[in-house]
Amino acid sequence: MAKQIQAIRGMNDILPDQTGRWQAIEQVIRQLVARYGYSEIRMPIVEHTELFKRSIGEVTDIVEKEMYTFDDRNGESLTLRPEGTASCVRAGNQHGLLYNQQQRLWYMGPMFRYERPQKGRYRQFHQVGVETFGIASPDIDAELIIMTARLWRDLGIAEHLTLELNSLASNEARANYRDALTAYLREHMDQLDEDSVRRLETNPLRILDSKNPAMADMLSQAPKLSDYWDQESREHFESVCARLDAAGVAYTLNERLVRGLDYYNRTVFEWVTDSLGAQGTVCAGGRYDGLVGQLGGKDTPAVGFAMGLERLVLMLEAADTLRVPKPVDVFIVVGGAQAELPAQAVAEKLRDAFPTLRVHQHCGGGKFGNQLKRADRSGADIAILLGESEVADNTYTVKFLRGQGEQTTLDWNGLQALISGLELK
Ligand code: ATP
Ligand code: MG
């Protein structure tokens, strides 16, 4: 036998027994963004490498070591998108969606990062991203966070998630803070790990994000960014907090929350859970007022977030709070060759009469008993048995597969009435 080819490490098939849950989550998300008046945008999966270098930043984990970058046949450097914000801004600029306008956009799709695969961390994963443009005031920051809080309630997992909040303030405030932090870290050079020594010159704020327990004590004594906040950023942040208070959304201030991408300023936030081990961040975002300009557009305030669907799926699997629809409601069992045409006809008649009914007509022949076993395994509520006598009498024998009652034989009207009365899940 020929050798089978396997999928690429860290790139998963989502199999039929899982897609029901994915669809259910996606459905809740689509409804959510619609309820807030957001429009969908769809971008390509591949972009010029330059786009990500210029937006995410040259000295970030993503650009330094996580991108899938390759040369196109004409020698151009292309990259599989590691996130959606850069592409969304690129598309917005390119099509004039951002110029002197307000936009509320969302997208969903695969992202690619060359990371070490583990639970909740993959090389192809899926994000839902939400981005807003043209609104500088804190009401929109709050709206995005309030919207995510509603999503956790809709999904039934609110109790497993906590909100961490910080402000990265203005570029100037951050630059001042950066000097103070660098000076402090230099004094504690002996305690820095290899990664942090490298970052000291290039991206010292990222050192605050380090998960290395050996540096935890030293970092907790470091200068605090909030001591360097500019007045306007402070007021902006306080207003975001006040709006969250008013909406009943709880949060904790995390002074070391800096995010791994360079484009953020002011509000940054993460929704974290302790139920996924080290991969605890389910949703993360913030304000990025400089990015549109940096990518060649007119300066436009912006704020957004992205959430990882695999991590959400893992949480929902554990919490089991989301109803996942089964694929089949009604299974038609075909009793012999003479029932085959009538079976196909009744299947179509049922689909006409009940447009949302999921009808599985058995195909491929085979023993009655085997078909009934399949009917049971399909998860259907009822089986409709069509044998010689049913075909002759124009009747339908219904077998209840979930213990709802005795087998019964009905005419078409009776069958319709019975199906109308089923509580299909
Ligand atoms: P982490 O700290 O876990 O590496 P990140 O800061 O790199 O996350 P973002 O770039 O902010 O993540 O992406 C937003 C969300 O996308 C994350 O909170 C997470 O839920 C999800 N995500 C990011 N990278 C991966 C991955 N490799 N596999 C699965 N989900 C991911
Ligand atoms: Mg990461």
Per residue in 54-93, pLDDT (tens digit) is 999 888 889 989 999 999 999 999 999 999 999 999 999 9
Residue nearest atom 7 of ligand 1, based on CA coordinates: 260
pLDDT at 263 over 90: no
Could you tell me which residues are annotated as the binding site for L-histidine? 83-85, 113, 127, 131, 259, 263-264
74 CA to centre of ligand 1 in angstroms: 32
Higher local confidence (pLDDT), 211 or 305: 305
Question: What pLDDT, on the 0 to 100 scale, is given for residue 125?
Answer: 98
pLDDT at 404 over 90: no
Higher local confidence (pLDDT), 95 or 258: 95
- Amino acid (1-letter code) at residue 257: L
Residue nearest atom 23 of ligand 1, based on CA coordinates: 308
Q: Report the alpha-carbon distance of residue 392 to residue 339 in Å, rounded.
A: 10
62 CA to centre of ligand 2 in angstroms: 7
Ligand 1 atom nearest to CA at 120: 29
Question: What pLDDT, on the 0 to 100 scale, is given for residue 359?
Answer: 98
pLDDT at 262 over 80: no
381 CA to centre of ligand 1 in angstroms: 40
Residue nearest atom 21 of ligand 1, based on CA coordinates: 308
pLDDT digits (tens, 9 = 90+) for 15-52: 999 999 999 999 999 999 999 999 999 999 999 999 99
303 CA to centre of ligand 1 in angstroms: 17
Secondary structure, 3-state, the chain: CCCCCCCCCCECCCCHHHHHHHHHHHHHHHHHHHHCCCEECCCCCEEEHHHHHHHHCCCCHHHHHHCEEEECCCCCEEEECCCCHHHHHHHHHHCCCCCCCCEEEEEEEEEECCCCCECCECCEEEEEEEEEECCCCHHHHHHHHHHHHHHHHHHCCHHHCEEEEEECCCHHHHHHHHHHHHHHHHHCHHHCCHHHHHHHHHCHHHHHHCCCHHHHHHHHCCCCHHHHCCHHHHHHHHHHHHHHHHHCCCCEECCCCCCCCCCCEEEEEEEECCCCCCCCEEEEEEECCCHHHHCCCCCCCEEEEEEEHHHHHHHHHHHCCCCCCCCCCEEEEECCHHHHHHHHHHHHHHHHHCCCCCEEECCCCCCHHHHHHHHHHCCCCEEEEECHHHHHHCCEEEEECCCCCCCEEECHHHHHHHHHHCCCC
Pocket test for ligand 1, best of 281, 283, 310, 313 (most atoms within 8 A of CB): 281
Give, in order, the Cα–Cα distances in Å from 71 to each of 15, 46, 51, 66.
32, 12, 15, 16
Backbone angles phi, psi at 400, to 5 degrees: -85, 125
pLDDT at 424 over 80: no
Ligand 1 atom nearest to CA at 260: 6
Could you give the domains of the chain?
Answer: 16-169+229-319 (3.30.930.10), 330-419 (3.40.50.800)
Label the pairing between strands 103-112 and 39-40.
Answer: parallel
Average pLDDT over residues 294-304: 97
pLDDT at 425 over 70: no
Higher local confidence (pLDDT), 402 or 136: 136
Question: What pLDDT, on the 0 to 100 scale, is given for residue 203?
Answer: 86
Give the full edge-to-edge strand order of the sheet including 77-80.
Answer: 46-48, 77-80, 68-71
Pocket of ligand 1 (CB under 6 A): 83, 113, 115, 120-122, 125, 127, 260, 279, 281-284, 306-308, 310-311
- Amino acid (1-letter code) at residue 4: Q
pLDDT digits (tens, 9 = 90+) for 172-221: 999 999 999 999 999 999 999 998 998 898 889 989 988 889 999 999 99
Q: Report the alpha-carbon distance of residue 271 to residue 284 in Å, rounded.
A: 6
C-alpha 93: how far from chain center? 24
| Pair of tokens at residue 425 | 């899940």
Ligand 1 atom nearest to CA at 259: 6
202 CA to centre of ligand 1 in angstroms: 22
Question: What pLDDT, on the 0 to 100 scale, is given for residue 61?
Answer: 86
42 CA to centre of ligand 2 in angstroms: 23
Query: Do 249 and 152 touch, CB atoms closer than 8 A?
Result: no
Q: Name the pLDDT band for 287 (thresholds 50, 70, 90).
A: very high
